[in-house]
Amino acid sequence: MKNKVPIKTLRSRPRFKVYTKMSKEEFIALIQKHLEIHKSQMGGYANKEVAMIRLRTKNRTYWQPQVQIRMEKDEDNPKFLVVRGVIGPRANVWTLFMFLYGLSGAVFITMGSYVVSEYLVKGESHWLWSLFFAAGIALATFVASKIGQYISKSHLNKLYSFIDELLIDAKFYEKRKDLK
């Protein structure tokens, strides 16, 4: 077993999945204990299905990441608890960025079809600028997300260390072959 939690590094929302022999109630108590220990830095809650952990800061930023942890019994081996986590921005930030990407794609596809049709019929199209507008929305959204990731890098490191400490105390197993 490693000393670090195996976090799969998807650039936008890193994930982890580990197993522990603790019960849900014990794991929830462990989360609450760690939140109490780190109450000056971390805040959040834990209930029977999900836990949410956020950083406490005086000035809450729009880019501030959070950890969402789901706990469920392993179907194949009921004596183990599966702990899945996602580290990322708040839901409203994530939804905004997905909306902007979807909007730019819809404008590009719709207007791209119109531009091509008009060009084939008339030999010219005055709507070509809309394709650059859609690409500009996508590019601006991408640049804004990269800036947000850079701004929240220190917050992300604090969350990573909190999760490492929490799951090491829970004596986690990272792969199925480790389960005995």
Structural domain total, the chain: 2
Range of the domain at 131: 100-148
Q: Are 23 and 162 in contact, with CB atoms under 8 Å apart? A: no
Q: Tell whether 78 and 104 lie within a shared domain.
A: no
Q: Which residue in the block uniquely carries the two structure tokens 């008339």? A: 122
**Any idea which of 10-24, 41-55, 116-130 has the lowest mean pLDDT?**
10-24
| Top mean-pLDDT range of 91-100, 104-113, 154-163 | 104-113
Q: Tell whether 33 and 107 lie within a shared domain.
A: no
For the residues of 125-163, what is the DSSP string, one character each?
A: -TTTHHHHHHHHHHHHHHHHHHHHHHHTHHHHHHHHHHH
Query: What pLDDT digit, counting tens, does each position of 61-70 carry?
Result: 777 889 999 9
Q: Tell whether 169 and 107 lie within a shared domain.
A: no
- The residue length of the chain stands at 180
Q: Tell whether 36 and 120 lie within a shared domain.
A: no
Kindly report the CATH number assigned to the domain that includes residue 39.
Answer: 3.30.310.80
Average pLDDT over residues 19-30: 91
- For residue 12, being part of any structural domain is answered with yes
